Amino acid sequence: MSKRFYITTPIYYPSGKPHMGHAYSSIVADVFARFKRVEGYDVLFLTGTDEHGQKIQKEAKKNNKEPKKFCDELSEKFRSLTAILNLSNDDFIRTTETRHHKSVNEIWNRLVKSGDIYLDKYSGWYSVSDEAYYDKDEIEEKDGRKLSKTSGSEVEWVEEESYFFKLSAFQKNLLDHYKKNENFILPQSRKNEVISFVEKGLKDLSISRTSFSWGIPVPQNNKHVIYVWLDALTNYLSALNFPNTEDKKYKDFWPADVHIIGKDILRFHAIYWPAFLIAANLPLPKRVFGHGWILSDDKKMSKSLGNILDPIEVIKDYGIDQLRYYLIKEVSLGNDGSISMENLKNCINNDLANNYGNLCQRVFSFIKKNCGNKIPKKNKLRENDIKLIENIKNNIPKLISFIDKQNLNEYIKMVVNFSFEANKYFNDSEPWSLKAKDPERMNAILHTILEQIKNISILLNPIIPISTKKVLDTINLSDKDISIDNIKKDDIFNYNLELKNLDILFKKIENDN
Ligand code: MSP
């Protein structure tokens, strides 16, 4: 049986243009999806748009559009962003699709059947922008406006008939689950936040609304629409053809291996979602990973703050691999991270152009000039050559474990270091000085360095897929060669073929000042 891996991004509200925060969630998930494929897993990577609820209905109205038409247009923007970000998603789900309605109806009916839903009246604070209910101790007053303390978004008082989910009854189940499954919520700091929230006691959750109509009707009472978060979370099952639990996709991929989300939506994924699933008698996802925020001027990037860095503009100016590399390398996953154009430029110049790019380019041009443009065969490697090659191979289990703990920063740090070491080895070995006096030694050095370039490119491929493919193509390796197994094997080169030409990989960015 092949090894399988199911990873998801949050589904995005198509209420405005996609911004860097959205791009970040998606790129992070994409790096994991790509790595697991390189590792030999059968991967399902899901993303999509979250299209129901009051926020979308209001936004559509503001734009004088029917909600469905409004969503069709904006969802397309998110779909085209997947191509711009070079995501390798296997599916793109929209919550306005029939497959999703079926799945949400089934979840609702399962909760009714288990006796976990009752009809009552909700009165309390609601933030349309967060689509979230808040307790009075979660609210503060600023300039006469009532705001959520955590998100800063405005709340309004709501009183309406509502179906409730007996969330309070799940406190013990949830705490037991967190205890038994140490890595269910990562990073650890987020897990502690969730546990102390749940330990304080949970209130039953309002899961339907009556004051607007843009949503999936409650099956037994179409005066109500289902609360957008119960609707949205179910997308992770809809994409597997749930409710057909005999379907191959469902059987192969549920429970999900990891939901990648931002820390602002942790409560929904780490408390509500598992409680719904327990009530529906379905297995729980293996992990919820809450990344930090991308900050601009030290504030969360958001439409309401007007400090959005447009990913599409940045990509146009600098390139997609450059942006992917920068976000993965410079933002510590799990913590908040400030980004700036200045840092992006430095990262492109120092890491990509001067390190990995420079390594590939100088080695290829040396081979072109001095070896008839062909890779020299493995021959009489010395101890330090073997040590260099073995260092990557021996670290593979460690690299896999970094990825499996979503420790992307340690992963990239180690791979970048391999690239520094390879550059240093090339400098220190001075193959140019051996052309005449010891061509055999020169060839051994070049062979060793090409092994390193191949292996580093495979390891960087999930992060910078376009550039690494160019490099591998130059040495006549194709997509099917990009695998961890091919790091373990040495000598996969075709020695009869000449190297192809490689244009500049990463252009250096001039500083404006
Ligand atoms: N629709 C819900 C998610 C439903 S999942 C079942 C939602 N959508 S969102 O469009 O508002 O946000 C989606 C994701 O983008 C969240 O993970 C959020 O954390 C992330 N980001 C939005 N702004 C962000 C930053 N400035 N920085 C990093 N990520 C942030 O919530």
Tokens of residue 254, six digits: 């549920």
Ligand 1: centre distance to CA 30 (Å): 16
Distance, CA of 15 to chain centre: 20
- Regarding whether 237 and 115 lie in a shared domain, the answer is yes
Q: What pLDDT, on a 0 to 100 scale, did the predictor assign at position 490?
A: 75
Contact indicator for 457, 471 with CB cutoff of 8 Å: yes
- Residue 294 near ligand 1, beta carbon < 6 Å: yes
282 and 344 both lie in a single domain: no
DSSP output for 2-43: --EEEEEEEEEPTTS---HHHHHHHHHHHHHHHHHHHTT-EE
**CA separation for the pair 239, 97 (Å, rounded):** 10
**Token pair recorded at residue 165:** 């989910």
Question: Domain ends where: 291, 322, 351?
Answer: 291
- Pair (37, 113) in one structural domain: yes
For residue 273, which atom of ligand 1 is closest to its CA?
6
Q: Looking at residue 502, what DSSP letter applies?
A: -
**Chain-centre distance of CA 179, in angstroms?**
26
Whether ligand 1 lies within 6 angstroms of the CB of 272 is answered as no
Domain of residue 453, CATH code: 1.10.730.10
| Residue 441 Cα to ligand 1 middle (Å) | 54
Q: What range defines the domain where residue 423 resides?
A: 340-488
Task: Single out the residue in 260, 291, 322 at which a domain terminates.
Answer: 291
Q: Is 29 in the same domain as 104?
A: yes
- Is the Cβ–Cβ distance between 154 and 145 less than 8 Å? yes
Residue 407: inside a domain: yes
CA of 12 to the centre of ligand 1 (A): 6
Does the beta carbon of 230 lie inside 6 Å of ligand 1? no
Residue at 476 is within a domain:
yes
**Mutation choice for ligand 1 from 24, 28, 235, 338, CB with most ligand atoms inside 8 A:** 24
CA distances from 404 to 32, 35, 186, 217, 501 (A): 9, 10, 11, 39, 36
Of 8, 9, 25, best ligand 1 pocket probe by most atoms within 8 Å of the beta carbon: 25
| pLDDT of res. 315 | 96
Within this chain, do residues 40 and 161 fall inside the same structural domain, yes or no? yes
| Residue 319 located in a structural domain | no
One domain for residues 254 and 351: no
CA–centroid distance, 309 to ligand 1, in Å, is: 15
Helix H or strand E segment including 209: strand 208-209
Q: Give yes or no for residue 10 CB within 6 A of ligand 1.
A: yes
Clarify whether residues 75 and 151 are in a common domain. yes
CB environment 230-250: b (16+ within 10 A), e (fewer): bbbbbbbbbbbbbbeeeeeeb
d(CA 300, CA 287): 25
List b or e across 155-182, with b for residues whose CB sees 16 or more CB atoms inside 10 angstroms. Answer: beebeebbbbbbbeebbeebeebbeeee
The answer to whether residues 70 and 174 belong to one domain is yes
CA neighbor of 232 nearest in space, from 27, 61, 12, 70: 12
Residues 247 and 380 in one domain: no
- So what's the pLDDT on residue 513? 47
| Total count of domains within the chain | 2
Degrees to nearest 5, angle at CA 453 with 419 and 361:
90
CA atoms of 494 and 506, how far apart (whole Å): 26
| CB neighbour list of residue 404: distance below 8 Å, 6 or more residues apart | none
Q: How many CA atoms lie within 13 A of 344 on its CB side?
A: 18
Copy the structure tokens of residue 430: 């001075």
d(CA 96, CA 103) in angstroms, rounded, equals 12
Instruction: Pick the closest to residue 293 from 32, 71, 23, 52 (CA basis).
Output: 23
Question: Does residue 330 form part of some domain?
Answer: no
DSSP per-residue letters across 83-107: HHTT---SEEEETTSHHHHHHHHHH
Nearest CA to ligand 1 atom 25: 21
Report the separation in Å between the CA atom of 194 and the middle of ligand 1, taken as the mean of its atom positions: 18
Give the model confidence (pLDDT) of 371-407 as tens digits.
999 999 888 999 999 999 999 999 999 999 999 999 9
Dihedral sign for Cα atoms in the order 258, 259, 265, 269: negative
Whether the Cβ atoms of residue 33 and residue 7 lie closer than 8 Å to each other:
yes
Q: Token digits for 30?
A: 């994409």
Domain end: 270, 291, 312, which one? 291
Answer yes or no: is 281 within a domain: yes
Residues 6+ apart with CB under 8 A from 24: 291, 294, 327, 331
Written as one letter, the residue type at 432 is W
Q: Is the CB–ligand 1 distance for residue 25 below 6 Å?
A: yes
Q: Are residues 49 and 165 in the same domain?
A: yes
Ligand 1 center from residue 11 Cα (angstroms): 8
Do the domain assignments include residue 314?
A: no
- Do 271 and 418 lie in one domain? The reply is no
Side chain identity at 426, as an amino acid letter? F
Q: Look at ligand 1, atom 13, and give the residue with the nearest C-alpha.
A: 12
Taking alpha carbons only, the member of 140, 144, 167 closest to residue 153 is 140
Burial class (CB in 10 A: 0-12, 13-18, 19+), 447: buried
C-alpha R_g of the chain: 26
Q: Is residue 495 part of a domain?
A: no
Q: Is the CB of 293 under 6 A from ligand 1?
A: yes
**CATH code for the domain in which residue 35 is found:** 3.40.50.620
Query: Is the CB of 276 within 6 Å of ligand 1?
Result: no
Q: What is the mean pLDDT of each run of 10 residues along the chain (513 residues)?
A: 91 89 96 98 98 96 96 95 97 98 98 98 94 93 92 94 98 98 96 96 96 96 97 98 98 98 96 98 98 82 71 94 97 91 92 95 96 91 95 98 97 97 96 94 96 97 98 97 92 92 92 59
What CA–CA distances, in Å, run from 234 to 156, 295, 422? 26, 29, 47
Q: Specify the pLDDT at position 94.
A: 98
The answer to whether residue 438 is domain-embedded is yes
